[in-house]
Amino acid sequence: MQMLYDSESFVVLHLRPDMEDEETAGTAEKNAIPQLPRHGFEIVDKRSGKEVYLDGSWAELFQKQILAWQQDAPTEEEVEDTLDRYAGLAQQPVIVH
């Protein structure tokens, strides 16, 4: 897990299976069903207390947005506006463990 963005309104995390620590990777059962490694992004809207997890084609679309931001550094307002559009998808309340 890698934090990509943190502001008063949003947190964006990149979740990648290849970032799994070695201890966890060594404890997998031999008979476990193999799964395709997939990455995703979690966007937390701090204002509403909800989060959305983007994977599959949504994650690919968001990855393209991040690459565009790296090429042309956006203002904080532009980033927040984009995240606000994704936050409209958020239905899952954030639960602190």
The percentage of residues in the chain with a pLDDT greater than 70, rounded to a whole number, is 76
Q: What is the pLDDT of residue 34?
A: 58
Per-residue pLDDT averaged across 27-53, rounded? 77
Domain membership flag for residue 28: no
- Picking from 1, 2, 3, 7, the residue whose alpha carbon sits closest to that of residue 74 is 7
Q: What is the pLDDT of residue 29?
A: 55
Look at the chain and report how many structural domains it folds into: 1
Domain membership flag for residue 55: yes
Domain membership flag for residue 85: yes
How many residues are there in the chain? 97
Structural domain harbouring 66: 2-21+37-93
Domain membership flag for residue 26: no
pTM: 0.74
Structure-model confidence comparison of residues 32 and 89, the more confident one: 89
Helix (H) or strand (E) holding 15: strand 10-15
